[in-house]
Each structure stands twice: as structure tokens, then as C-alpha cells.
Amino acid sequence: KEIYTLLPYTDLLSLMFVSFSRVWTAREVKVPTGPLYRVAGTAISIPCNVTDYEGQHHQDFEWFHYLPEKPEIPIGIASTKNEQFPYVAFSSRVTSGEIRIHRLRDNAVELKIGKLRQGDTGEFECYTPSTDPTYKGTYSDKVQIKVIPDILRVGTGHSRRTNPKSHSVTESQGIELTCHAQANSEQHTHLSVSFGVSKTDPDLESTPGQEVIAIKRDFTVVPGSTGSFGTRYRNGELHVEKAQGDKYKMVIQRARPEDQGFYYCTAAEWILDPEGNWQKIVEKTATLAQITVLPVANLLTISDKPFKTLVNSGEAMELFCDVTGVSSTPNVAFSVQWELKSKQDSPTEQLVVGLDHDGVVTLGKGFRNQNGARAISLERVREDSYRLRIQSSQPSDLGTYYCIVCAHVKYPNGTMLEVAQKKSEGVQVIMKTEAVSLQAHARIAHFSIYRGDTIELLCNITLQTAQTVHMGVAWWVEAKEDGTQGHLLGTLNRDGVTELAKLQGKDISVDKVGPQCYRLRIYRAQESDQGEYHCSVTAWVPYPDHSWYNAATVKSKSVKVSLYMHAMDTLFVPLIVGTCSALFVGIAIITTVTCCFLKKLAKR
């Protein structure tokens, strides 16, 4: 009998799959789809890989070339197995390394040709010697390479090659460069053009530069990824455009010191391969110009005049600040300010007046309406000259004046950037002033002052001067031993206006009782009004511009105020003392009697 063994259903399917796999699986060699157009003198890499093979993992590859006029005759190029494989037409190029096979994986290589020649046009075949048990599948594949002439032209537009021109621009001025690039190819190609900058000449050294901006093959504009080019492009400061014919123009509207260097233009020709990939087939670079950017900080110079000036108090004073080296243009604006160092040992200067880049004038804190409106101006009298004018100079104006100039660059987005600041050597102002001698003496008008009376204090002033002077007087009570703080009681200013402190329960007045005599009165005096008082006097000198100058301030010596008691007040003292004593004795007796009564009651 014959015995049949039935296989499980799943094992049967597996056996059928393996059988069909062996039937349908076959070696396949693959190279890119052609034709591939490449430019003479450029490099090319042709990949080749083999799949679905049997035998050893490490596969060998052989490359052949077929000329268009002899398509049936293979010419050996290179082999991974046999070093003697190349034919005479390629042996020298293989020996020199210009042509070589670069292995990517066990089953993949690429044929690399460093410099294509016109004679390389034709079909390239990749062949893999068999390692399979049976001969099946494809063992080679071909791709057609068409070598076209190099017709890409890049340069400045001059007919013959010359050294790059040198240009100098001032910071904030524009940089405009033109690049001529064309490739009149018979094939459908696209051109990309980019502008770059390098610290050294790209034609002489291989130092990598920075891409500034580019027009890509799909006509999109892309700024450089390094530096500030991206931000400047978005702000409208940097742009590139395709001009007439073969011209491409790049513009940097506001040059910066870091923009200097050798500017070059790089053009590349692109072609769409049959498999849908864009391939760069040739690229060329030409130096356009050497640009030097002169920083405003190095060019800006300022000078003030006169070096020293002598003025009389009350006279007008004029100082000039000249700005040279950089012209004020629509892109550059200046801000100017004058500062005063009033004393030689003063650590800092104080602002007198400033003129910003928009023409707005600002007075310094010590000069704006503190003691009356002062007539101070700062204006541009010429393109390169600014004038400070103080209508009526005062003794407080003497010192050294410094002119400070800041240069600002205006950018397309409206922002202003300070790029330079310079300070002058200084102008010394010496002033002739008339002396003001001032003294103050405080005294009590009546020495016997009782509680409830009016305290009357006088402040006598001694003044020696030829000038017109107005007085301002202030009355103060000084701190007391019980810790009470001293404070201002009242003032009579230079215009005769009285201002009294708000004191609870106090009724006071301040007035002028003589040419140089001022009075303080405190009504219904109390014990709390006792203490020491003084007066403070300020001499104010008026000026033609209706401002006032503090010519002198003095403080009198203190005067002590004490209150006497009335006769009736002394009679009340015994009465008050006796009443208090009797009250104390009565309370003591009542307390004693009550305690004794309670004790007896407790014993019962």
C-alpha cells in the first residue's frame, strides 16, 4: 500500500509561496533613467544597484561605455574586481583617479567622473557578474549621457576680465551691484543667481563667503541664512531683482561696517532629469567689486568755539558747535546737546539744552522754569553748525560747556539707530559779576511776653550792591529738646506774596514793616510756642529775559522766645495745691474707716 501524508493547510501555502518566489524573483540591475544632460568639464556620479540576487552579499560591478556611432561595441571603463579591466581610452583617467568606482553598499556603487569630456557622450552600462545558481533576471542596465558645451557666462558685463573695482561708501549710503549671467542652452534649463560677500577675493583664495541674497531656480528670492541679511530683507533694506536682459541687480540701502568685503556673483544652471529631480549641471562665480564701508564714527568730527569766552552777568552768551566729516543726508540725522560742568571737581555734567534728530528742543532740568522762564535756544544756523544762545547769562552759568553730537541712521522701516557719538573738548565760560553783600539779624520786638500775648519777631537785613535786588524771607522755628521737629512757619517771596504753613491751632502772619525789615507775629501765644526762631533771607536779581538769579542766601542767628506768667496765674497755684492735698487726705480717711468697719463685721 502507498501511504499519503496530508500537509496542514498553512504549510501548503508556505510551500507554494516559496515555489512562486523562486520562479518570479530574479536579479535586477538599475541605473537612473536617461537621457541625462551634463556640461563638459563638470563632474558626474552615476549610481547603480542590484537587487533580488542570490549568492554572496558582496557583489562586483563592471562599467562599459558605448559611443553613439558604435552602439554595439562596449568599451571597458572600470571594474571592482579586475584592475586591468579599463580599455586604453579610459586607462589613464582611471589611473589618475579622475574616473573611479565608489562603493556605497554591498549591492550598490556609483561611477564617478571628475571632469566630463565631449567624447564621453554615449551610453554607460552597469554590469554585475552572476553569483546566482541559475541565470535569470537582468544583469546590466544602461543610461544615456549627453555632454553639452559649457555656455554659462557670469561676470560684471565687461568684455575682458579685469581686477575687481574698489568702491568706498560711507556708512548709511547704499550699495548697488549688477551681475550679468546667461546660459542660452538648447535644453530647457533654469538659472539661479546669488550674491555673496567674502573677506578675501574669492578668485584668489578659497575662503568661504556669506550668501547675501539669491534668486532661486524657481524664481523665489531667499536672503542669506547667516548674519543679519534675513532681518534686513524683511525690513526692506535688502533686495534683488532681475533687470533687463542678462542683468541681476542687488541693492543694500543702508551700508554697515560689517558689509565691507569682496562681493561676488554665483550663477548655476539647472535641468530637470527624466525621473523628476532638478540637477545642477554647472556653476560659476565672478568677483564683482571690493567694497569698503567707512564708519561714521571714524569720519565724524566736532569742534566748539570760542575756546574761552568772557561775559558780563546779564549779557547774551553764544557758543557754536561745528559738525564735519559726515554730511547730513536723508539717511543720516544728528542730535546735538550742550552740557555744563559748573565746577572743576564736579564729577558729572548737567544738561543745558538738547536738539534731537527730529528737531525737538529740550531744556535741562536746572534751566526750565525753575526760577522763572529762561530764554535759552539751540538751533541749526548752517548745515554743519549749531548755536547755543543764552539770552541773559547768570553767575550760575559759568563753567565749561561741552557739545555732544550723536549721528543716527534712518532705516526703511522707520527705526533710527545711533551709530556714532562725539564730545567736544569744551568751552570755558568766565563771567564778570557784581558782588552782593547780605546779612540778616533776628530779634524780639518786645522782651516781656506773657501767655496769650502776640509774639513779634523782626528780621533786619543789611544789603550792599549796585544791582536791583528783591528779597525773599522765610521764618523757621528750630527743633526742641523734647524731640519736636523744626519747621517752616511762613514766607514772604520776592513778589511780596505771603505763604503760611498750615499749623493746627496756630494763628500767625508774615509781613514787611520797613525797607529792610520783616516781621513774624504769632497770636495768642502758648507754652508750646516757646523756643528758638531764625529768619532766612535770599537776594534775587532780575534779568532782562524776566528770569531771576539767586545772588545770595543768609541765615540769621537764633533768637530765644520765653513766656512770662500773669499775676493771677500765681494766685491759683496755692489754691490748686491745697485743694489737691485736702482731696487726697479725705480719700485716705474714708478708706481707713471703711476697712475697720468691714473687719469688725466679719468677726461677728
Quickly count: other Cβ atoms within 10 Å of residue 484's Cβ: 12
Cis ω before 149 (30° cut-off from 0): no
Handedness of CA 202, 205, 211, 214 (dihedral sign): positive
**Confidence at residue 3, expressed as pLDDT on a 0 to 100 scale:** 39
- Collapse the DSSP code of 99 into the 3-class scheme (helix H, G, I; strand E, B; otherwise coil) and give the result: strand
**Confidence at residue 349, expressed as pLDDT on a 0 to 100 scale:** 86
Where do we find the cell 534668486? 215
Q: For the segment 184-208, what is each residue's pLDDT rounded down to a tens digit?
A: 888 899 999 999 999 887 766 666 7
| SS3 per-residue string spanning 259-315 | HCEEEEEEEEEEEECCCCCEEEEEEEEEEEEEEEEECHHHHCEEEEECCEEEEECCC
Say which DSSP state 8 is in. P
Q: For the segment 318-337, what is each residue's pLDDT rounded down to a tens digit?
A: 999 999 988 777 889 999 99
Residue 511: name the closest of 445, 417, 573 by CA. Answer: 445
**Confidence at residue 446, expressed as pLDDT on a 0 to 100 scale:** 85
Is pTM, for the whole model, over 0.85?
Answer: no
Separation CA 442–CA 558 (nearest Å):
7
For residues 466-484, give the mean pLDDT. Answer: 88
**Confidence at residue 263, expressed as pLDDT on a 0 to 100 scale:** 95
- Collapse the DSSP code of 601 into the 3-class scheme (helix H, G, I; strand E, B; otherwise coil) and give the result: helix
pLDDT bracket for residue 504 (50, 70, 90): confident
Q: For the segment 114-161, what is each residue's pLDDT rounded down to a tens digit?
A: 999 999 999 999 999 988 888 888 999 999 999 999 999 999 876 566
For residues 28-43, give the mean pLDDT. Answer: 95
**Cβ-defined contacts of 212-217 (< 8 Å, 24+):** 212/238, 212/250, 212/252, 212/263, 213/238, 213/239, 213/240, 213/250, 214/240, 215/240, 215/242, 215/248, 216/192, 217/190, 217/191, 217/192, 217/268, 217/270, 217/278
pLDDT bracket for residue 20 (50, 70, 90): very low
Q: For the segment 543-554, what is each residue's pLDDT rounded down to a tens digit?
A: 776 778 888 899
pLDDT bracket for residue 481 (50, 70, 90): confident
Separation CA 165–CA 176 (nearest Å):
13
Does residue 383 carry a pLDDT above 90? no
Separation CA 341–CA 364 (nearest Å):
13
Cα-Cα-Cα-Cα torsion 385, 390, 396, 399, nearest 10 degrees, comes to 20
Does residue 15 carry a pLDDT above 50? no
Does residue 379 carry a pLDDT above 90? yes
- Collapse the DSSP code of 475 into the 3-class scheme (helix H, G, I; strand E, B; otherwise coil) and give the result: strand
Which of 8-12, 421-425, 581-585 shows the lowest per-residue confidence on average (mean pLDDT)?
8-12
Q: For the segment 393-416, what is each residue's pLDDT rounded down to a tens digit?
A: 888 888 899 999 999 999 888 889
The pLDDT mean for the chain works out to: 86
Helices and strands: H and E segment counts in the chain = 5, 40
Residue 92: name the closest of 61, 115, 66 by CA. Answer: 115
- Counting every residue written for the chain, the total comes to 604
Cβ-contact 337, 351 below 8 angstroms: yes
